[in-house]
Amino acid sequence: MKLIQCKMKIVKRRLCILHFAICILSFGQVFVFSGCERGSSAAKPEKGQFQGSPVPVTVTPVRTQKVQRTVELVGTLYANEEVTVAALVEGRLASVSADLGDRVRPGEILARIQDDEFRFGVGQIEGSLGETLAKLGLEKVPPPNFDVGKTAGVLKAQAELNDAQAQLKRMQALYADKVISGQEHDSAETRYKTSLAAYKNSVEEAKALVANASSKDSQLDIAKKKLADASIRAPISGSISNRFVSAGEYVKVGAPLFTIVQDQPLKLRGLVPERFAPEIRVGQPVEVKVDPFPDRAFQGKLTRISPAAELTSRSFLIEALIDNSERTLKPGFFAKASVLTRVDAGALTVPQQALVQFAGLAKVFVVQDEVARERVVETGVRVGKNEVEIAKGLKPGDLVAISGLTRLTDGASVQVSGPTLPLKDGK
């Protein structure tokens, strides 16, 4: 009996499990059927059909506008010129008259080196030169091809030589007529030879004096230059960006004293990717913005283009001169620049509010026959304050929705309400 009861319990248990499995299968079938019905009811409606009331929207046509094409780059502002002023002579600084931030003009004195020694040197050479010119009987240093026969010593020797020569001729005639003795004739001949030697010697002395005068004149020029170099002057106009010395210091030749930067105009240097090479030309306008003045655009012009590209970045260097007449910009600023390359007269634009961004894609809804159609578009540059260029995906005259976008789907019925903006010039 116990064995029969155990078998009955096993059978009942299996029947219960079978019944439970049948119930689960029945419930799953019902769920699948109901899900299919819901899926079919949510299927995309055909063109012109949409369940529910039409969505009210405002539309505007795609406009054709002029768009300024630019090439964007980043770069650094540099001084137009930067000069380190160094000492040209050795000595102790007597005074320093320029400091950091001072604006200077070409030739303006920045510092002075004690110049007493240089003044004494100039005076000494001037005295020696004057003595040499006095021996030559001249008031100023003669030119390189000067005729020494015009000097006082040579003129005197020439006169004595002429007199001795004339006297010798007379004596020779008298000696031939037996009027004078041989001794008198020999004396006249000796005097002539002595005068001739004196003349030649005076010519050589005059040449040496002329050469000495020229040498001393050159020495005088060097001494005067050293005296002038004792006054340190600005070689260019600009501003003092560094001062390295103070009054009383002893400086040697070549020691840096100041750095001057020319900050009007400034140079912008930056790299442009090689794909923009066909669009970049010397003379194109450049607009620059810097972080310290985010609301201002500084104007300039492209002046130089590198003939070679960098292998590492595949970019080439450009240089532009940026107007800095207000001295607002400073060398070393990081700058964002735009090179204005050309104007595109046929660019398509839509208002910013017509765009829907989703998963990295830009979309608009084009309204056709009161039905919204989703279009994926490719955007370009911003135009004005509220317009965006559409590079691909639309054509002129397309009506795009600018309101109710959160309720729109592809194929939704719409009701156009509100004004439709004009295409262009009120048309």
Residue 350, domain CATH = 2.40.420.20
Say whether both 221 and 287 belong to one domain.
Answer: no
Mean pLDDT of 194-206: 88
pLDDT of residue 92: 95
pLDDT of 37 > 50? The answer is: no
Q: How far is CA 354 from CA 57, 61, 364, in A?
A: 11, 11, 6
pLDDT of residue 172: 86
Which of 138 and 17 is assigned the larger pLDDT?
138
Question: Residues 110-134, buried b or exposed e (16+ Cβ, 10 A)?
Answer: bbbbebeebeebbeebbeebeebbe
**Torsion sign over Cα 357, 361, 364, 370:** negative
Strands (E), 88-152: 91-96, 103-104, 109-113
Say whether both 322 and 382 belong to one domain.
Answer: no
pLDDT range class, residue 206, cuts 50, 70, 90: confident
In a domain, 7, yes or no: no
Share of the chain above pLDDT 90, in %: 51
Say whether both 359 and 331 belong to one domain.
Answer: no
In a domain, 105, yes or no: no
Q: What is the pTM of this model?
A: 0.63
pLDDT in tens, 96-125: 999 999 999 999 999 999 999 999 999 999
Q: Report the range of poorest mean pLDDT among 15-19, 178-182, 283-287, 335-339.
A: 15-19
Say whether both 121 and 207 belong to one domain.
Answer: yes
Say whether both 337 and 379 belong to one domain.
Answer: no
Q: How many domains does the structure of the chain reveal? A: 3
Nearest alpha-carbon partner for 272 in 258, 284, 256: 284
Which of 152 and 277 is assigned the larger pLDDT?
277
Mean pLDDT of 345-372: 90
pLDDT in tens, 252-280: 999 999 999 999 999 999 999 999 999 99
Domain boundary among 327, 344, 361: 344
SS3 142: coil
pLDDT of residue 382: 84
What is the DSSP code (8-state) at residue 413?
A: B
Say whether both 300 and 205 belong to one domain.
Answer: no
pLDDT of residue 381: 84
pLDDT of residue 420: 60
Contact assessment for residue 185 and residue 171, using Cβ atoms and an 8 Å cutoff: yes
Contact assessment for residue 82 and residue 260, using Cβ atoms and an 8 Å cutoff: yes
Share of the chain above pLDDT 70, in %: 85
CB within 8 A of 164, min separation 6: which ones? 188, 191, 192, 194, 195, 196
In a domain, 166, yes or no: yes
Structure tokens at 31: 């769920």
pLDDT of 310 > 80? The answer is: yes
- With residues binned 3-state (H G I as helix, E B as strand, rest as coil), the percentages for the chain, rounded to 5, are 35, 35, 30
pLDDT of residue 360: 83
Question: Domain range for residue 178?
Answer: 115-229
Cα-based torsion angle of the residue sequence 247, 252, 253, 256 in order, rounded to the nearest 10 degrees: -50
